[in-house]
Every structure is written in C-alpha cells, then in structure tokens.
Amino acid sequence: MTGKAKPKKHTAKEIAAKIDAATTNRGGGKAGLADRSGQEKGGHAKYECPHCKTTAPDVKSMQIHHEARHPKIPFEESKVINLHATVAVESSKAARPGVRGSMKK
C-alpha cells in the first residue's frame, strides 16, 4: 500500500539526473580550484582585487567586495586587474559542456 499517490519506484529520468549530477564536474572542490583561481585560461573569476588578490566574476561583485573588505580605500575601477586580459586563453577543439555542465547535447 503506497498511499497519497506516491510512486513506489524512481523514474528513469530521475535516476539519469542523479547519475549526471554525481559524475559531472561542476567546478567545485579541488577539481575546480585552478578554474576558480584563474590560474589556467582565466577561469570563471574575471577580475582580481589589487589589494587582497580576491577574485570576482564581474565589476559589480568586485565593487561589493571592495566596499565590504576595504572601506577606507576608495574604489577605483581602473585599478581592478582583468585576469582574462593578462592570461593567454588556449583555444581547444575539445567537446564543450552542454546543459548545466554535462557533456550531453
């Protein structure tokens, strides 16, 4: 007796989604450390704080970081380091991730 119209078994779609989530690198942990730090190909973090070297994806986030962490120093957008401009991007013809980072198309 199941009750309240709850299915007894998992659907194939749900199982496939769980396998995809478990086996696809989403960029977290040690696997995505180089990407987050901007060491190779610029990473996701495009801008770097000139004072503490913290990275941020856009200027607005960097401005929020600056106001929170360095309130006594005035924010100057020209001093923010653009990591994508300083690191050479290596173009490869490898398969790119599809929907939500999976290798599926």
pLDDT at 99 over 60: no
d(CA 102, CA 105): 8
Q: What angle do CA 17, 98, 87 make, to 5 degrees?
A: 130
* Region at 101 (left for phi over 0; alpha for psi -120 to 50; beta for the rest): left
* CB count in 10 Å sphere of residue 61: 14
pLDDT digits (tens, 9 = 90+) for 18-42: 988 888 767 777 767 766 665 665 5
pLDDT digits (tens, 9 = 90+) for 6-19: 667 888 899 999 98
Mean pLDDT, rounded, for 83-101:
59
* CB count in 10 Å sphere of residue 56: 20
With bands split at pLDDT 50, 70 and 90, how would you rate the model's confidence at 96? low
pLDDT at 73 over 90: yes
Instruction: Identify the CA nearest to 46 among candidates 56, 54, 37, 36.
Output: 56
pLDDT of residue 23: 82
pLDDT of residue 78: 92
